[in-house]
Amino acid sequence: MGDRRVGVAVDFSDCSKKALRWAMDNILRKGDHLILVSVQIHANYEAGEMQLWEATGSPLIPHGEFKDPATMKKYGVMPDAETLKLVEDAAKVNEVIPLLKILWGDPREKLCEAVDTIPLSSLIIGNRGLGTIKRVLLGSVSNHVVNNASCPVTVVH
């Protein structure tokens, strides 16, 4: 108990909220660490601490700090109220320990790196449901992570 690190990829979209809800309903157990992994494509180096953490990502940010808008502004991330509420519910109902890890770069590569560097026991990721053409042109983050991550990955549609 307490040594599982369940990662959920979040970009604060509807897809990532569905993945978070799925994790709460199906996989999280008392004492687990719920690691929200947020990959930001762009970094604004003139504001905040992002330049310090570009290569390794942010330190693991405790729930109490990532609820604070001033703290999140330093990292250039603004979690929405619905995601924060879901995390609050997970902490209370599922009795898990929520943490946030922010990374900068290509989401496909950074999510796979996070699996190994945190390390994660499993990763849950949402799927935007791109059509075949868009998936070929843009590349599918979930498909790349499923094929390259070194832990079990669940894709929530």
Assigned token pair, 89: 């519910």
For all residues of the chain together, what is the average pLDDT? 87
Residue 97, CA atoms < 13 Å, CB-side half-sphere: 11
State the residue for tokens 């109220």.
81
At the top level of CATH, which class does the domain 5-156 belong to? alpha beta
Name the residue ranges covered by the structural domains of the chain. Answer: 5-156
Chain segment 55-89, per-residue pLDDT in tens? 788 899 999 999 999 888 888 888 999 999 999 99
Q: How many Å apart are CA 28 and CA 94, to the nearest integer?
A: 7
Chain segment 37-48, per-residue pLDDT in tens? 999 887 665 555
Q: Name every residue whose Cβ is closer than 8 Å to that of residue 74 and which is 6 or more positions away in sequence.
A: 47, 48, 49, 50
What does pTM read for this prediction?
A: 0.87
Angle subtended by helix axes 14-26 and 81-93, to nearest 10? 10
Chain segment 86-120, per-residue pLDDT in tens? 999 999 999 999 999 999 999 999 999 999 999 99
Instruction: Kindly tell me if the per-residue pLDDT of 9 is higher than 90.
Output: yes
